[in-house]
Chains A and B, each alone.
Chain A
């Protein structure tokens, strides 16, 4: 099986940059869904969007009676929400999803009101300097008066934590929402490099909503999709200078991280590992004794059960605006997904 890069329409980094420039905070995924729709249209036989906002694309195999495999990645990203407009034009806010509040002081944000306005998160004057800043003691400086703010912003509007796609050395890049736009890129790359004549299974691409709130999108989609297996793609923790004492962290560049444990189908997962070996795709093994913390947890027990696998892309500084990964790991994941869909995993 050839897995030539030239088969792919996309430059991985360019697509990642394009997708991470879009908002799509959990439960307000319209803009990222609109962005992804043409990409799905170009590879799928049909594409649906359910009431909750999940995108579901169908690619049919030429085999009669082909089984169906889901390739899933969530498209939402974490963010903030306006809780109060203060008399000095500043905003109070809360989190949507697991925001790391240590990074918030002096972060730049975009308030996604009727008209977008820019802001900077500032710690309160009276904040105790001896401790890390707490979200309750921070405000967003807008440079506007209360009246000016109220023309564009309402309580409940969502707030994007700004990020900038930045190249470091060794094909390592940094930016926001790599969790899990990186997973989406790997799936789009995979389905674009699959040889349709070799496609053993029907593929359902599921780009789900509200993962960061509690896997809600996948729970809901799982109820209506009939499939024989699922491969969930998400991110896992990348190794950094200060993670020597942590387990479950993976060096950037190690390839696709395949998860084992009761959340994942035992035999299919073993086959994924074998397929990586056979096709010289770099990989590592991660273990989860309970929940994998990903949509595999939701899909595994949806309706009558969907046997699930999990492939993760190692990522440093998860849930910050400088999430960092190595492009090669997205490509390795794409290659493994393509191999699996072409029959590398026997479901």
Chain B
């Protein structure tokens, strides 16, 4: 499932292929769901109005490229969708729904000394699809077309997985497994598979704007494991702390710290969905879980399998305790 979610084409603003995978899985699981106007998939298990209602969300989109211009000689100029480290793009293979391409930068032999030392900028790069000229390129691509990275999903060594779009692949996988195993037994639960998580979490924002009353929310995402926030791979999910945590959030986090599930805690700023949530629903207890990821802002990411398993266990435990927490 993670493999399928990783390799599906689902760049922010054009998530259809990933959406289809999620929808068909929900249908197989016989879970009520619908797509809202923004494209978010909302699945719900409503029991009765006496029980508390929990919202659980994650993003389903991925970073990618969008064609901004086609040059007279048939190359595609592009912009990044979501934050991408430009240096990591050089010579990577990319694909649109129609055609393969590679990120073009002239051979190092052809650079002047000055050019060699200068940092590569996005303007230096273009996509080479093998077109003869603009007219030829127009047969396959048009301005505004999306490209994703052509990266195979696989295991890496004994402990990790590697691939593109792992951020959504593992988050969605954890959520679908939680639904499948019916972990939220005693509460009403709304699952939001949100589009445009990479673009300032605009998908979840529109959902929250119109949402009915809820009692608690869990936001699931990935967090770059690094020295800066003293987190690393293989040490379990990261409970993201915030200066804006409410007293109830803090007490739930305290409970979580008592669970016998390997995890880390850190103040992290890169889960935009959590910030958006606090902006719209500041009074609702919010738990933010980040699966540690390496190289989040590049075409290929790696994640520790144990961390994904422990995230699922942690979410399941939160589900079991949910009625008490609210």
Interface size on B, residues (CB 8 A): 52
Min C-beta distance of A121 to chain B, whole Å? 10
Min C-beta distance of A132 to chain B, whole Å? 6
In residues 117-138 of chain B, which contact A (Cβ within 8 Å)? 117, 119-120, 124, 126, 128-132, 136
A319 contacts B107, C-beta separation under 8 Å: yes
Min C-beta distance of A215 to chain B, whole Å? 16
A120 at the interface (CB under 8 A from B): yes
B107 contacts A320, C-beta separation under 8 Å: yes
B91 at the interface (CB under 8 A from A): yes
Knowing A144-B157, A169-B130 touch, does A242 contact B106 (C-beta < 8 A)? yes
**Complex Cα–Cα for A164 and B299 (A):** 16
A241 at the interface (CB under 8 A from B): yes
Q: Which residues of B contact A168 (CB under 8 A)?
A: 99-102, 128-130
A322 at the interface (CB under 8 A from B): yes
**Complex Cα–Cα for A60 and B228 (A):** 68
Proximity bits, B136-158, A CB within 8 Å = 1, else 0: 10011000000000100011111
A12 at the interface (CB under 8 A from B): no
Q: Which residues of A contact B31 (CB under 8 A)?
A: none
Q: Which residues of A contact B107 (CB under 8 A)?
A: 100, 237, 316-320
**Complex Cα–Cα for A192 and B127 (A):** 36
Of A23-31, A42-50, A123-131, the stretch lying at the interface with chain B is A123-131
Q: Which residues of B contact A145 (CB under 8 A)?
A: 158-159
Other-chain contact of B91, A119, A242, A317 (Cβ < 8 Å) = A317
**Complex Cα–Cα for A345 and B140 (A):** 43
B257 at the interface (CB under 8 A from A): no
Q: Which residues of A contact B129 (CB under 8 A)?
A: 168-169
Chain B interface helix/strand/loop/mixed = loop
Q: Which residues of B contact A241 (CB under 8 A)?
A: 71, 73, 75, 104, 126, 128
Q: Which residues of A contact B294 (CB under 8 A)?
A: 122, 141
B298 at the interface (CB under 8 A from A): yes
Q: Which residues of A contact B119 (CB under 8 A)?
A: 130-132
Proximity bits, B79-99, A CB within 8 Å = 1, else 0: 000000101101111000001
Identity of the chain B residue whose Cβ is nearest the Cβ of A167 in the assembled complex:
B100
Interface footprint category on A:
35 or more
Min C-beta distance of B151 to chain A, whole Å? 8
**Complex Cα–Cα for A241 and B103 (A):** 11
- B residues sitting closer than 8 Å to A (CB atoms) are 71, 73, 75, 85, 87-88, 90-93, 99-110, 117, 119-120, 124, 126, 128-132, 136, 139-140, 150, 154-160, 162, 226-227, 294-295, 298-300, 302
Q: List 18 A-B contacts (CB under 8 A).
A: A100-B107, A106-B298, A120-B156, A120-B162, A120-B300, A132-B117, A132-B120, A141-B156, A143-B160, A143-B162, A237-B109, A240-B128, A317-B107, A319-B109, A321-B91, A324-B102, A324-B128, A324-B130
- A residues sitting closer than 8 Å to B (CB atoms) are 89, 98, 100, 102-103, 105-108, 117-120, 122, 125-126, 130-133, 141-145, 148, 164, 166-170, 172, 174, 237, 240-243, 246, 249, 252, 316-322, 324
